[in-house]
């Protein structure tokens, strides 16, 4: 036994030494690489943040499997224009500073309670990798301590693969992490002009018990969804606002005069083992809980992927609305299968909303700004 | 009958009580994230409904006048999963609440923790609860 321990210790030392030498060589290669030319990092990268596990209200994950891998992921796009770097994370603008082989990215975000804060990423890069550490700035309700980050080049996925449907039925509860919850987006002049006078606690649809619509709901990190499958159709039963969404798998088109609405009209198809959902006929609305507009006729693209063990479902959600966004906003979500819950009733009463305005003598102001609640 | 407001104890220990509010909109616009206060009073009205469960609570302020506070917490379906139902707090109950106050001196409070008449707490553990 003693001999075994010695051997094991020796082996450990040998591995550590090799590990050190290998890392030193990689670092040397990186520093001396001609790929350090700054222009080489233009393009799309996939960011990965490994901070402390993000907490989520435990009421929604009761009975669900614990997830200790609450990494946050998101697309970073870098472009150089007129000698200036332009950066976007998940479609939203981010300040970028690049010097020699170092990079700093400041990404604004919003926690579950609505507090906005920044993640400041600093690190170094090569042609194919970036890595460093990040810190949090600003008051979050559940403060994160920061951690490590890395990025790799985005490799385009193969598409138009033969369908390999997976079983996505069941009740799914939101899991922590994954989404950057990028706060600001790259609005067009038209969208900025509309958005500048928005007051979310008077103008958001949900404050007066109107469903915010599928674009906001699908990324909402609090309520479960039940997915049912019937012939050539999935039905998504969302707990929030008791909304129902039908995803037609038979390529049918909406009937003539089918109206635009906040839920739109969704068609789905299996591309390999990814469920792709395209939603059209969205009506003028707001994208999230900050009041950024969605134009009448905007579209949404979603890609759902089931984990190998069938216990978690991941989605990448992209809003396509060039009228309002210079870059398409992206959200990501992860749900875990939760057979230990059911969809609860969701009843909403706007009494408190109107009562508060009445008590504060703001009813006239509210109705004077009705155009804030009508987007075309 | 009414308890005196506990001097509206302003505690500037930001974020020492992590809340679990699932805001439907920008919490930071309506509530003062940088402050927590404590109020004691009697529940006069209960609305166990979305978009937020709320309790109207009468307190006696420093000028010996009754003030009605609009005390807000999360959504019913999120609360009942934890066993916090529409009968957990009753009209007439005397409760103590720690929360984030509304901006501009509005009598709004976003709940962090509530101490019930039996000494137990809801939300985050109340500092001197009997648990």
pLDDT tens digits for A306-321?
999 999 999 999 999 9
Percent of chain A with pLDDT over 90: 59
Structure tokens at A351: 């009494």
Q: pLDDT value at position A289? A: 76
Q: How many CB atoms lie within 10 A of CB A237?
A: 15
Compute the mean pLDDT over every residue in chain A, rounded to the nearest whole number. 84
Question: Does the predicted interface ipTM exceed a cut of 0.85?
Answer: no
pLDDT for A143 beyond 80 = no
Mean pLDDT across the stretch A123-134? 93
pLDDT for A137 beyond 60 = yes
Q: Where are the domains of chain A?
A: 38-153, 170-363
Chain B residues touching A199 at Cβ < 8 A: 29
Q: B100 to chain A: nearest residue by CA?
A: A141
CB B42 within 8 Å of CB B92: yes
Nearest to A127 by CA among A72, A180, A73, A78: A78
The answer to whether residue B12 neighbours chain A at the CB level (below 8 Å) is no
CB A289 within 8 Å of CB B25: yes
Which one of B12, B16, B20 would you mutate to disrupt binding with A, by most A Cβ within 10 Å of its Cβ?
B20
Q: pLDDT-based confidence at A61, cuts 50/70/90?
A: very low
Residue A183 sits at φ, ψ, to 5 deg, of -80, -55
Question: Kind of pairing, strands A102-110 and A312-320?
Answer: unpaired
Mean pLDDT across the stretch A338-362? 90
Chain A residues touching B76 at Cβ < 8 A: 344, 346-347
Q: pLDDT value at position A23? A: 52
Give Dmax over CA atoms of chain B in angstroms.
40
Which chain A residues have any C-beta within 8 angstroms of a chain B C-beta? 55, 57-60, 62, 110, 112-116, 139-143, 199-201, 204, 206-207, 209, 221-223, 239, 289-290, 341, 344-353, 356, 360
Q: In angstroms, rounded to a whole number, what is the distance separating the alpha carbons of residues B93 and B85? A: 15
The fold of A170-363 is Lipocalin (2.40.128)
Question: Kind of pairing, strands B66-72 and B108-115?
Answer: parallel
pLDDT for A270 beyond 50 = yes
Residue A318 sits at φ, ψ, to 5 deg, of -125, 125
Q: pLDDT value at position A30? A: 46
Question: What distance in Å separates residue A235's CA from the closest CA in chain B?
Answer: 21
Q: pLDDT value at position A29? A: 45
For the four alpha carbons of A350, B28, A291 and A49, in that order, the dihedral sign comes to negative
Higher pLDDT, A70 or A283: A283
pLDDT tens digits for A164-176?
999 999 999 988 7
pLDDT for B19 beyond 50 = no
For the four alpha carbons of A217, A219, A224 and A230, in that order, the dihedral sign comes to positive
pTM for the model stands at 0.82
Higher pLDDT, A59 or B61: B61
Domains of chain B in start order, with CATH, are 27-123 (2.40.50.140)
Q: pLDDT value at position A140? A: 65
Q: pLDDT value at position B105? A: 84
Q: In angstroms, rounded to a whole number, what is the distance separating the alpha carbons of residues A207 and A351? A: 10
Nearest to A66 by CA among A307, A312, A315: A312
pLDDT for A333 beyond 60 = yes
A341 to B34: CB separation less than 8 angstroms, yes or no: no
The beta-carbon neighbor of B77 closest among A113, A143, A344 is A344
pLDDT for B1 beyond 90 = no
Mean pLDDT across the stretch A361-367? 93
Q: pLDDT-based confidence at B52, cuts 50/70/90?
A: confident
Q: Is A188 helix (H, G, I), strand (E, B) or coil?
A: coil
Q: In angstroms, rounded to a whole number, what is the distance separating the alpha carbons of residues B108 and A265? A: 39
Q: pLDDT value at position A17? A: 56
Q: pLDDT-based confidence at A45, cuts 50/70/90?
A: very high
CA torsion, ordered A52, A57, A59, A60, to nearest 10 deg:
-80
Enter the DSSP assignment of A52: S
A114 to B28: CB separation less than 8 angstroms, yes or no: yes
Q: In angstroms, rounded to a whole number, what is the distance separating the alpha carbons of residues A93 and A327? A: 9
Half-sphere exposure of B51 (CA within 13 A, CB side): 20
CATH of domain A38-153: 2.40.128.120
Q: In angstroms, rounded to a whole number, what is the distance separating the alpha carbons of residues A134 and A132? A: 7
CB B72 within 8 Å of CB B53: yes
Higher pLDDT, B83 or A57: B83
């Amino acid at each position: 036994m003693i001999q075994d321990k010695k051997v094991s210790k020796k082996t450990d030392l040998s591995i550590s030494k090799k590990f050190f030498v290998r890392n030193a060589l990689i670092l040397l290669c990186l520093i001396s690489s001609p790929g350090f030319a700054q222009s080489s990092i233009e393009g799309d990268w996939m960011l990965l943040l490994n901070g402390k596990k993000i907490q989520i209200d435990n009421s929604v994950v009761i009975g669900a499997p614990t997830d200790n891998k609450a990494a946050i992921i998101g697309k970073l796009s870098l472009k150089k224009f007129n000698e200036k770097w332009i950066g976007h994370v998940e479609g939203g603008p981010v300040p970028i500073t690049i010097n020699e082989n170092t990079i700093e990215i400041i990404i604004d975000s919003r926690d579950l309670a609505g507090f906005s804060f920044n993640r400041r990423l600093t690190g170094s890069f090569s042609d194919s990798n970036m890595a460093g550490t990040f810190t949090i700035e600003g008051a979050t309700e559940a403060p994160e301590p920061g951690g490590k980050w890395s990025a790799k080049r985005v490799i385009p996925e193969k598409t138009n693969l033969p369908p390999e449907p997976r079983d996505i039925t069941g009740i799914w509860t939101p899991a922590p992490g994954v989404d950057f919850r990028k706060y600001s987006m790259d609005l067009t002049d038209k969208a900025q002009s509309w958005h500048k006078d928005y007051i979310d606690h008077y103008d958001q649809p949900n404050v007066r018990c109107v469903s915010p619509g599928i674009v906001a709901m699908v990324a909402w990190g609090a309520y479960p969804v039940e997915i049912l499958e019937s012939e050539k159709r999935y039905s998504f039963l969302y707990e929030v606002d008791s909304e129902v969404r039908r995803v037609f798998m038979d390529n049918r088109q909406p009937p003539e005069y089918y109206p635009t609405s906040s839920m739109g009209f969704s068609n789905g198809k299996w591309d390999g083992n990814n469920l792709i959902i395209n939603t059209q006929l969205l009506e003028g609305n707001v994208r999230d809980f900050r009041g950024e507009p969605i134009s009448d006729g905007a579209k949404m693209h979603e890609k759902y992927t089931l984990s190998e063990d069938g216990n978690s479902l991941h989605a990448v959600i992209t809003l396509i609305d060039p009228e309002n966004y210079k870059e398409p906003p992206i959200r990501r979500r992860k749900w875990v299968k939760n057979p230990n819950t059911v969809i609860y009733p969701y009843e909403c009463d706007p009494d408190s909303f109107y009562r508060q305005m009445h008590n504060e003598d703001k009813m006239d102001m509210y109705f004077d700004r009705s155009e804030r609640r009508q987007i075309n | 009958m009414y308890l005196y407001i506990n001097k509206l104890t302003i505690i500037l220990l930001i974020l020492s009580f992590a809340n679990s509010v699932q805001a439907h909109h920008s919490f930071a616009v309506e509530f003062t994230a940088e402050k927590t206060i404590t109020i004691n009073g009697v529940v006069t009205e209960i609305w166990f409904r979305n978009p937020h469960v709320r309790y109207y609570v009468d307190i006696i302020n420093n000028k010996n006048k009754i003030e009605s506070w609009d005390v807000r917490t999360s959504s019913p379906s999120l609360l009942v999963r934890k066993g916090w139902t529409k009968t957990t707090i009753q009209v007439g109950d005397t409760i103590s609440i720690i929360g984030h106050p509304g901006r501009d001196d509005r009598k709004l409070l976003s709940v962090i923790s509530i101490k019930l008449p039996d000494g137990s707490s809801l939300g985050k553990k109340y500092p001197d609860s009997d648990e």
